[in-house]
Amino acid sequence: MMRYVLMCFGLLNVVFGQRSQLVPQKNRLDLTDLLNRFHDTTNTGPPSRGRAVDLVVLMDASGSVGASNFEITKDLIKNLVDFHETENGISSQGTRIAAITFDDKDWVNVEFNFLKSPNGRYVYNVNEVKRDIDAIPYHGGDATYITPALSKAHNLLLEYGRPNATKAVFLLVHGNTGDDRREPCNVGQRLQSLNVETYIWAISGRPADLECITPADHIFNVGSYPSSVRT
């Protein structure tokens, strides 16, 4: 699973450059130094085509994001998909992906769900996933709540997750959230009970109590959206 930590730092370096930084503040390190430390202390092993990975991405579609930044969000998620294609293979046997958009407390939507593809019955590829990402509409709601999206991700992984699969959630959230302080923590505990690794990109804000959802080294604080995603 440390490979995912490395991937997160690598993507942030590519997409946001040196503006990205690890939360909490006391643990901020030079990105290259931090990657070297991970390489020195962790045996990540070589890529393994066909390794079972179940991945849910959560995309903030609230009004504070804006339509142009939502397109950047989609480009970032496509970078994440490309990483999994290179490392593991996007397929019904390898990495399966679902995407969820969220904003208001009462609005959360599953944009596509390839987690439920039975082995051997339905084959899809990286290009199909990226087309579906491009087709995701921007909603532009009035507020930002992460709890319903995390709960939906938990339910998808509980229902469709493969017993032998590595399970991960990637949450990209902009600005501050309106969640009750306890609600994200409760869902975070449910995700942890399923052995789900949750990674959070927090842009232009600091949603409260993220450390109760996932360890601090899985949380990345970014000052603002870039003008475009670099590849």
Q: What is the pLDDT of residues 21-62, one digit of tens each?
A: 333 332 332 333 333 333 333 334 444 566 788 999 999 999
SS3 74: helix
Q: Of 183, 219, 213, 185, which Cα lies nearest the Cα of 200?
A: 219
φ, ψ (nearest 5 deg) of residue 65: -70, -50
**pLDDT digit string (tens) for 119-170?**
555 567 899 999 999 999 998 888 888 999 999 999 999 999 999 888 999 9
pLDDT at 226: 66
Residue predicted with more confidence, 198 or 44: 198
pLDDT at 15: 43
pLDDT at 3: 52
**pLDDT digit string (tens) for 165-190?**
889 999 998 877 878 878 888 999 99
**pLDDT digit string (tens) for 7-23?**
554 444 444 443 333 33
pLDDT at 187: 92
pTM of the model: 0.79
Number of CB atoms found within 10 A of residue 161's CB: 20
Rounded Cα distance between 122 and 177, Å, is 37
Q: Cβ distance 140 to 63 under 8 Å?
A: yes
pLDDT at 133: 95
Q: Please check the confidence at residue 220 and state whether its pLDDT lies above 50.
A: yes
The helix-helix angle for 126-134 and 67-87 (nearest 10°) equals 170
pLDDT at 34: 32
Q: Please check the confidence at residue 76 and state whether its pLDDT lies above 80.
A: yes
Q: Please check the confidence at residue 74 and state whether its pLDDT lies above 60.
A: yes
Q: Please check the confidence at residue 227 and state whether its pLDDT lies above 70.
A: no
Residue predicted with more confidence, 214 or 61: 61
Average pLDDT over residues 67-73: 91
pLDDT band at 70 (very low <50, low <70, confident <90, very high): very high
Lowest mean pLDDT among 47-51, 83-87, 149-153, 202-206: 47-51
SS3 98: strand
Q: Cβ distance 175 to 143 under 8 Å?
A: no
